[in-house]
Structure 1
Amino acid sequence: MASEIMVGTTGPEGTIMVEKETFSRREFLRKSGYAAGGVVGGSLVASLITMQILEEPKRGKKGTLLDGSYHDAFMFFTNRDDFRVLAAGTERIFPEDEHGPGAIKLGVPFFIDHQLAGAWGNNAREYRQGPFYKGEQTQGAQSRLTRGEIFRQGIRIMKEISQQDYNGSFQDLTADQQDDLLLALERNKVTMKGASSAEFFELLRAATLEGAYADPLYGGNRDMEGWRMKQYPGAQMAYRKHIDKRAFVEMEPQSLHNMLNK
């Protein structure tokens, strides 16, 4: 079966010439595969964007911002510097120490990126109609901004203060300088529009802890290292073998992904 389509070409002196071009079904399917390839190629484009933002090798060393995990893909941030500020902030909130890895090695920055791109970041399941008034402490956040908008503004202000007060990028400041800036946010000493800096800091802190301890299926808690530090068993099928034991039982943690593969 053959089909005819109209093809426009530019003729002499800029005129438009319309021609008929005949395609067999086989030819049409072959050429339409280019369009399908564009959809599949979207993942390749996303990977290239990720590489450009982080400026890391295709497979970085384990524990870097880009260590080859399939979760290391951007869904919200498109600015390299913004993501690095976020990563540095999470690392100060959940730093690496003698007990285990910090936020970056646990994949927390990517966890937050993915959460901001989804329903949580867009406040999709919340009542969003006005009027918006400053709420009491018992009422919680009353901002007209989504969490994604609060994060974008908060990170931009962190960058501005870092340049004004320390003449450098937040991720390049000393640990004490970073802590001072984060404390100023927490104590509501920084002016933001539509939300308070304390609200932004609390969102950042809560999301960091969630990324450190959530099931790895969601992108954080890489290799279940967050659970191992707490000796938390994760998503076990049952505890029948251990329920009667008096001594503390150390168990290899299991994620939802492990359960699906059993």
Structure 2
Amino acid sequence: MVDKDQNKGHTEEPENASRRDFLKKSGYAAGGVAGGLVLGGLFGQFDTAEEGANSDQVEQLQNARTFFKRREDFETLAYASERIYPEDENGPGAIKLGVPYFIDKQLAGYYGYNAKTYMKGPFQPQKSGEYGLQTKLNRGEVFLHGLRKMQEVSQKDFGSKFAELEGEQQDEILRKFEANEIKLKGVQSSIFFELLRQTTIEGVYSDPVYGGNKDMQGWKMIEYPGPRMGWANEIDAEEFLSKEPMSLKEYQGGNL
């Protein structure tokens, strides 16, 4: 459960309530961003890295999609993740933190293909919460199925793409998935929502080497210093120490 304001209580919805209400009421995260957010260079393409390429070129390579083939699927993922972890006064949201690319990379690997998960039947979808993921679909398939259904519901209910909706409309659709009101083939919509929420939060707080937590901004918001081998030089300090975060890349010495 994540709430950047550390407020996990349920409050009455005031008139003209902010888009933070959806995630506060669901007990997962706070806030929202305005619908139609300009993603700018979010949807990176594969470029050729030449010798001596600058940091912007290297970042463009890192931000290329490896799992999602359809831009529309990735765009829906981006806006949905932003509703779960929005930009607010505490810091950037999922999009600026690179969370969509983190999820993309996870789904392109062992995690997405359930390579290390027992996938034999019988399956009991109605007991997914009790016995774990109960479906023949791997996580990548669950995401594709869920995101495309989300787009379908968006067009049916509001006549527009999910990414083009107002925040409150996006929240309404996400609530339906969370409450298992949307029918998906082979998996419960609430299971898809939980995977979406879980991987979004993981992308915010994982080491930047995995594609999310850009510039360690997720860590900076919670004052997490990153991986450290020990605290021998600081353990006897009489005052509270606040250290700048250090990622695996920095700890291991950066580039060769």
TM-score (norm 1): 0.73
Corresponding residue number in structure 2 for 1:93: 84
Determine the C-alpha separation between the residues in 2 that align with 1:54 and 1:105. 12
- Asked whether the 8 Å contact 2:151–2:161 carries over to 1, the reply is yes
The Cα offsets for residues 43-62 of structure 1, whole Å up to 9 and x where unpaired, read as xxxxxxxx999388x8xxxx
Q: 1:69 to 1:222 in 2, by over 3 A?
A: farther
- Asked whether the 8 Å contact 2:162–2:170 carries over to 1, the reply is yes
The residue type paired with residue 54 of structure 1 is F
Q: Post-superposition shift, 1:142?
A: 0.9
Same amino acid, percent of matched pairs: 47
Determine the C-alpha separation between the residues in 2 that align with 1:163 and 1:70. 33
Corresponding residue to 1:130 among 100, 121, 124:
121
Corresponding residue number in structure 1 for 2:26: none
Is the partner of 2:130 in helix, strand or coil?
coil
| Unpaired runs of at least 5, structure 1 | 1-50, 59-65
Corresponding residue number in structure 2 for 1:205: 197
Corresponding residue number in structure 1 for 2:249: 257
Determine the C-alpha separation between the residues in 2 that align with 1:149 and 1:76. 11
- Asked whether the 8 Å contact 1:53–1:79 carries over to 2, the reply is no
Determine the C-alpha separation between the residues in 2 that align with 1:223 and 1:53. 15
Corresponding residue number in structure 1 for 2:105: 114
The residue type paired with residue 189 of structure 1 is E
Q: Post-superposition shift, 1:120?
A: 0.3
Determine the C-alpha separation between the residues in 2 that align with 1:171 and 1:115. 22
Determine the C-alpha separation between the residues in 2 that align with 1:99 and 1:81. 29
TM-score (norm 2): 0.75
Q: Post-superposition shift, 1:214?
A: 0.3
Corresponding residue number in structure 1 for 2:208: 216
Corresponding residue number in structure 2 for 1:7: none
Corresponding residue to 1:151 among 133, 143, 168:
143
Q: Post-superposition shift, 1:245?
A: 3.2
The Cα offsets for residues 80-128 of structure 1, whole Å up to 9 and x where unpaired, read as 1111000000000000001101001100000000100100000000111
| Unpaired runs of at least 5, structure 2 | 1-39, 48-56
Report which structure shows greater RCO (CA 8 Å, sep ≥6): 2
Corresponding residue number in structure 1 for 2:171: 179
More strand by share: 1
Correspondence 1:6-25 to 2 at 5 A = none
- Asked whether the 8 Å contact 1:94–1:103 carries over to 2, the reply is yes
- Asked whether the 8 Å contact 2:205–2:219 carries over to 1, the reply is yes
Determine the C-alpha separation between the residues in 1 that align with 2:58 and 2:222. 24
- Asked whether the 8 Å contact 2:44–2:63 carries over to 1, the reply is no
- Asked whether the 8 Å contact 2:207–2:213 carries over to 1, the reply is yes
Determine the C-alpha separation between the residues in 2 that align with 1:170 and 1:74. 20
The residue type paired with residue 234 of structure 2 is H
Corresponding residue number in structure 2 for 1:44: none
Is the partner of 1:121 in helix, strand or coil?
helix
- Asked whether the 8 Å contact 2:125–2:187 carries over to 1, the reply is no
The Cα offsets for residues 159-188 of structure 1, whole Å up to 9 and x where unpaired, read as 001111011110111111111111110110
How many residue pairs get aligned? The number is: 204
Correspondence 1:33-112 to 2 at 5 A = 54=43, 68-112=59-103
- Asked whether the 8 Å contact 2:178–2:194 carries over to 1, the reply is yes
Is residue 195 of structure 2 the alignment partner of residue 235 of structure 1? Answer: no
